[in-house]
Amino acid sequence: MNIILLGPPGAGKGTQAQRLQEKHGLVQLSTGDMLRAAVASGSEIGRKAKAIMEAGDLVPDSVVVQIISERLDDPDTAPGVILDGFPRTTAQAEALDAMLAEKGLNLDAVVELTVDEGILVNRIEKRAAETGGARADDNVETLRNRLAVYREQTAPIVPYYNGKGMLKRVDGMAAIETVTAALEETLGLA
């Protein structure tokens, strides 16, 4: 089973993807995590992505499309993947469709975690405090830009998948366990 988790920064995609990975053996593919690893390693991709990520902007589509395409070729992803943070633009969604077709893979569901934007800012401030500022982009100023980028560049992929009849919605504001249970129900994993 291959699924996409959609939702703005702080919606809980990463938390839920990890829980689904642990409980159901699906593999979380977080482009944010992969890019942060690239930055930490000082690779060429990381050097290019660093400033873009710190500003809360999007790295070029071609970069993330290649990263995901390569990961999907790794045998450990065969049980299925949870895409977390990808696709983030309509061009990435179209590239994903093309690569899945080419690799003979299916997309089973796209789930949007719906949120209250006012609460998101509090969540991210809390995450920044808890992780001791481990993420350079977890501050209020960058968060506002990440939310604007989400609205402008990522939100349009919601109607893209809705038009294909693939979109499902889960309330991302409920308690962590409740959101997981709703996801499992929606995905037929319960």
Residue corresponding to tokens 């920064």? 9
171 in Cβ contact with 7 (< 8 Å) = no
With respect to ligand ADP, which residue has the nearer C-beta, 42 or 165?
Answer: 42
Applying CB under 6 A, among 19, 85, 112, 179 the residue interacting with ligand ADP is 85
Binding-site member from 92, 96, 110, 161 for ligand ADP (CB under 6 A):
92
* Residue from 12, 45, 115, 146 binding ligand ADP (CB under 6 A): 146
Contact between 58 and ligand ADP per CB under 6 A: yes
Q: Is the bond into 87 cis (omega within 30 degrees of 0)?
A: yes
Query: Is residue 167 a contact partner of residue 3, using CB atoms and an 8 Å limit?
Result: no
SS3 138: coil
Residues 8-47: x where in contact with ligand ADP by CB under 6 A, - otherwise, as a string: -x---------------------xx--x------------
Partners of 170 in the beta sheet?
113
SS3 (DSSP) at 148: helix
Which residue, judged by CB position, is nearest to ligand ADP in the bound state?
32
- According to DSSP, the β-strands at 167-171 and 27-30 are unpaired
Binding footprint of ligand ADP on the chain (CB under 6 A): 9, 31-32, 35, 52-53, 56-59, 64, 85-86, 88, 92, 137, 146
